[in-house]
Amino acid sequence: MMIKTPSRISLVGAAWLLAMTGAAQAEPLRVGALMPMTGDLQAYGESSRNGVELAIDEINAAGGVMGEPVVLEVSDTQTEPQSGVDAAQRLVSVQNVSAIVGALSSGVTIPVASSVTSVEGVPQISNASTSPVMTDLDDNDFLFRTTPSDAFQGVALAAVARDEGVDQVAVLYINNDYGEGLANAFSDAFESAGGEVVGSAGYEPGLASYRGDLSAVSDGEAPLLLIGYPENGQTILRQALEGGYFSEFMFTDGMKSPQIVENLGAQYLNGSFGTAAEARDDTDAAQHFKTAYQAAFGELPPVPYIDTAYDAVYSIALAALAGESVEPVSIRDHLRAINDPDGEVVGPGEFARAAELLAAGQAINYEGASGSVDFDANGDVGGTFADWQIQDGEYVTRRIFVPSM
């Protein structure tokens, strides 16, 4: 429909028309999800995407961001560094996202941050990357994460191992930033606690045989700490059992996947234990998240980094509201402001309330499903860890604790 206007428009009318034109052209918040829908970490890709989608659905049901629905763009990293970089570049250059959630693998997140997000000026919040390297990365303050560093997980696992009476351990880790960083953190903490690492080696993903690696670290008695991802991890475990290299195992977050037990058999893995970042489940925030997830997707799977993906989206959307802008730099600049310790506490499912508080000029403190999301100067957060064990083929959390550094 064409609108005819008089030849003379009053100043008031012109201002109104300009305002209406601007409102009609308001840009929605576009969030990119950089997920491993294929590759070695695909066991976590769908569940993390579900966490992202749940947050966006709740935010849009509450009115969206500045009246516009949040738009989600998903891109597959294939759990490969170059594929992840290419996927991130598409999100930024083609989909024009204002922020990115992901990647999951530290080996993907770090090159994405170094060559894409820090260069293009787009905030990136990983829900799962735990490498200590990220803390000091030169990222122009565009890289954040909603899960704690492996500097903490290494200490947590060492404490659990010593509590279990483990005096010696062999370590086999995937040869990337995640694997090497966590192996070093664990070894340092374990040896400081009086334990001995009898052998340690990195392995390359995608090989048909890992018998040489297994033989190199095995002493015939010590259990194996396997730091890796489900796809390759299953191959290594099968060959460890078949070759008699190991019969007892310890794991970290990357190997906490039901498909491992399903494919190998519970009888071979019962009694194995490990750690993973995990929030307390007795908070209102955690209960809301669990109930909402089950209503949307069914049973909440026993894998990590779903709630942290959810919190990453909430953080991005709240930062956009706080800055009254979907511009990437503005979002980056307000990610810490939404966690004001003196602000009104808001949690999952309270986006409309948070929006009202921010509109009224009040400070907020977002307490997420995964715990506090208080980004420090390096974009890191603290957190709690689960001490879990495989019992009768199920992952059972024995306790949730804060490791003592």
pLDDT in tens, 125-181: 999 999 999 999 999 999 999 999 999 999 999 999 999 999 999 999 999 999 999
**pLDDT at res. 2:** 35
43 with 159, same domain: the answer is no
141 with 172, same domain: the answer is no
Do the Cβ atoms of 200 and 148 come closer than 8 Å? no
Q: What is the pairing mode between strands 364-368 and 385-391?
A: unpaired
251 with 295, same domain: the answer is no
268 with 394, same domain: the answer is yes
Is 236 part of a structural domain of the chain?
yes
pLDDT in tens, 42-90: 999 999 999 999 999 999 999 999 999 999 999 999 999 999 999 999 9
Q: What are phi and psi of 176, to 5 degrees?
A: -145, -175
Q: What is the number of structural domains in the chain? A: 2
Taking each helix axis from N to C end, the angle separating 306-323 and 42-61, rounded to the nearest 10 degrees, works out to 40
Secondary structure (3-state) at 189: helix
255 with 391, same domain: the answer is yes
Do the Cβ atoms of 187 and 197 come closer than 8 Å? yes
37 with 142, same domain: the answer is yes
**pLDDT at res. 25:** 52
Alpha-carbon distance of 157 to 150, in angstroms, equals: 10
**pLDDT at res. 316:** 99
* pLDDT at residue 14 greater than cutoff 80: no
- Domain range enclosing 175: 151-279+385-401
Alpha-carbon distance of 243 to 268, in angstroms, equals: 14
